[in-house]
Chain A
């Protein structure tokens, strides 16, 4: 395997590699299925039953049910795919992003209005810069 030491050195970030793409394949394909209104309706009606139609791991299913997007990403989910879940929920990209940071939606929105999160100290775990 290629060495991804540099990619793994970015704080609070999961780079979506070919390996993670393989790990999250079924989870991400499930997300794509929510691009059809009929599937969104079926999902809303009984989320668990809908998820059980997919050969996903239990951890992936739990992450979806809990709308825990950090957990979903740890299980191979990719944010552009996961976006189909929060679009189905009627949640904005900003609210979903906020939910991954440990900040409230309001705090996060305020941070963005003030110019966003500074890259200072957010570039490298190892080098602490």
Chain B
């Protein structure tokens, strides 16, 4: 059977991708950020996951306002890289695991999570920057990816509770796939940031640290935090953090924290990163 061996959370700031793509990762500005992922890169080399179920949000790349799914899952064989206005990132095409994705889709929908099914889409920085942070700049990505896209662009986003419950259903779905696969679940986006209006540049480290602690130890309390709290405290785009709750829900009751990194700033954003191991 497929096993969920770890959870990874990371911010997915587009400027991080640009820094890598344009050879600036060693600059005074970016070096401390990339140093924070050295341990993770070594760790994942040893872990060798077969598949990453990657929770992220599309940033007006694959989904326009014509159709905006709340939860969507990719069942394609591969995903091309989106052109976000400056040409596609020069990174490898993302290969899907269509069989596992179809299995997860069926399981989730029968479990009453009404997923939108995607058989063709491009993927943007929300999905590719986490891959870059964890794997660097390989010729081909060393994992297959099952993308799960969450609407965090338009209010109302799904609630924290719904995200956490989706994670639980995802756990059941992955673990009932009858092939021995090493599967990781990643939650991406966040941490505190606001990209718009006179309040742009908001960072709330205190909120972020509390979020990280609660995500590890007490997700049942964290899942009840309402939208308005994220919007006020963590900025209008900080609400992306709800996606981390899906990852956490997939890991089961107890987890061990293997690694944590927090850094301000990356462009307009606070960067957070966790590696968690399910223990029960």
Contacts and interface: CB of A to CB of B under 8 A. Distances in A.
A113 to B, nearest CB: 7
A65 interface: no
Interface stretch (B60-68, B251-259, B272-280): B60-68
A15 B159 CA distance: 16
Interface in A66-94: 69-70, 73, 78-81, 83-88, 90, 92-94
A7 B268 CA distance: 22
Nearest to B205: A115
A112 B207 contact: no
B201 A83 contact: no
Contact of B199 (A13, A25, A92, A112): A13
A86 B45 CA distance: 37
Given A28-B64, A115-B203, A116-B264, A6 B197 contact: no
A15 B152 CA distance: 11
Contacts of A10: 199, 231-232, 236
A92 B24 CA distance: 15
Interface residues of B, number: 43
Contact residue range for chain A? 35 or more
A129 to B, nearest CB: 9
A17 B151 CA distance: 12
Interface in A89-121: 90, 92-94, 97-98, 100-102, 108, 111-113, 115-119
Contacts of A6: 228
Interface of A: 6-7, 10-18, 21, 24-25, 28-29, 31-32, 34-37, 40, 69-70, 73, 78-81, 83-88, 90, 92-94, 97-98, 100-102, 108, 111-113, 115-119, 122-124
